[in-house]
A and B are shown apart, each in its own frame.
Chain A
Amino acid sequence: MSVRNVLVPSPARILKSEDMTDIEKHIELEILDKEFAKRFVYKPGQFVEVGVMGVGEAPISICAARKKEDLLELCVRKVGRVTNAIHRLKPGDILWIRGPYGNGFPMENMEGSNLLLVAGGLGIAPLRGVLQYALTNREKYGTITVMYGIRCYTAMLWRDEFLQLFYEGDKNNVEFFLSYEDPSDKQCYELQCERSDRCMSGVVTKLFELKEVKPENTYAVICGPPIMYKFVVQELMKRNFDPRKIYMTLERRMKCGLGKCGHCIVGSGRNMKFVCKDGPVFTYWDALMTKGMI
């Protein structure tokens, strides 16, 4: 009997590895095994286990919509062993990938609706995929509102890309809001002076002061550091959002990505979930039903 070994990673060559900030790199990969590449169909919100030989594996969100069969984009923040090792590698070097894993965002469900994307820091990475998908299928979605919270100007990911949306998104019915946590940040302050209707200092939830968010016909999609969820959800609930129309993507320790190793377990006996397999995208309704989720 021949079962495919789901734990075997497949090699991918680094095409590009560029510093976006001090700690984050944008990495473009080419999947070398073309058979594997064919099977490697993904949607926004899914992730891959990325490995460095001799170091280990780490789950990383796919940060762009699928454009070409054997291409893959990631944004990696260096925080530990594997991510540091990924940062050491150069174009031409090999990373090892398994996936795609997780459920991803149900882009079809959201068709015909407005989108409200709320991201904090690195949380913009999976939402960038959502955004790209929606922009390529622009006619399928209503108004797209993006709220992006950063610490300071230099911590802003895909700066050129997002600044362009910040300035010119409206042409395409995209409203881009920016918040920054460091009030002394000069460049952000300048942005705020230019567009005080789109930028302010503070945490990302402050942006709800700038934009009158309405629950009608709108899906909210959230990603950010764990503490952010409660506060964003609070704002949305104040505005009577339907908990089933709030999507969020969660983070937990992961080793397998396949519902086996158990690390990403969350919930009570009533409702036990594996973030890797049942998620990482959940609705706020799921969170209400699953203890300890946010």
Chain B
Amino acid sequence: MTNTQKPKIGIFSLTGCGGDQLMILNLEPILLDLLSRFEIKDFQEASSYKEEEAELDIALVEGSVSTKTDLEKLKKIRERSKMIIAIGDCAIGGCVQAMRNGQMSMEERMRKVYGVDVDYYDVLEPKGISSYVNVELEIPGCPIEKSQVLHAITSLLHGDMPEEIDYPVCVECKLNGYPCLLVEKGLPCLGPIITAGCDARCPGLGLDCIGCRGPIRDESNVAAELEVLLEKGYDEEYILNRLRFFGGNFEDIQKLTKRISEKSKGRRNSHEEDS
């Protein structure tokens, strides 16, 4: 990006709560300054002004792909953007919406929620946008951290790709000197497998990490988390649900779920044979 021309930016929502766009609006005092450095071509929550076909330097996309409409929209965004940044867990891995992925089919889910008659023609299994298009950068969080967005945006304005955080929350606990809730109190903290960047906010308040920033792709050892929490006396189902809450689309968590459900099926079958 050259300094002479303002980078063109678009901010888009797919399926989600819009919380991440809100977080950007929440940057308030510096928001104006920040926005004045871009030429804004599309921003649903801030204005109704849109230039549907304009070429974009950066597209910030939040929300998961949960409908065919989302997917169409996403493909169009990809075509017109040099860089796509997925903001928030929904856009990265489907987040809470993906909790039941790989466990229950979409049809089952729709039936369960709305009854049989609902038209689920448009519905897709919620997934992160990188499942469909190439994504240059991901900013995790549910919602995202203001400081991280700010850092990402200043880096981009400066002309650099922002550095991604790929270490777990435990690191930030230690840098802050917070006593470990898992080790000391046996709380079911997910910190060891969850992407840092929140400055270990929850553990710092004495609350065990529930994993709102999602696991670290190709890195987190989720099987170890299961083992450790089982060891501490937590119930398998409970742990699995906890892991799935924000990480349902994370490959290793899906594998784990499958392994366990097969195991428990096996157990059930053998029980049946026994009786």
Contact = CB atoms under 8 A, between A and B. Distances in A.
Interface in B161-219: 161, 163
Which of B159, B160, B161, B163 gathers the greatest number of chain A CB atoms within 10 Å? Answer: B160
A233 B273 CA distance: 63
Contacts of A85: 159-160
A54 interface: yes
B158 A55 contact: yes
Nearest to A84: B160
Contacts of B163: 81
B171 to A, nearest CB: 15
Instruction: Bin chain B's interface residue count.
Output: under 10
B4 to A, nearest CB: 14
Main secondary structure of the interface of A (DSSP, over half): helix
Main secondary structure of the interface of B (DSSP, over half): loop
Interface in A6-55: 54-55
A54 B157 CA distance: 11
A88 B161 CA distance: 13
A84 B163 CA distance: 14
B160 to A, nearest CB: 5
Contacts of B159: 84-85, 88
Nearest to A53: B158
A81 B161 contact: yes
A55 B156 CA distance: 11
A88 B158 CA distance: 11
A55 B163 CA distance: 10
Interface string A67-99: 000000000000001001100100000000000
Nearest to A54: B158
A17 to B, nearest CB: 16
A84 B159 CA distance: 9
B222 to A, nearest CB: 26
Nearest to A85: B160
Interface of B: 158-161, 163
Interface of A: 54-55, 81, 84-85, 88
Given A54-B158, A55-B160, A84-B161, 5 more contacts: A81-B160, A81-B163, A84-B160, A85-B160, A88-B159
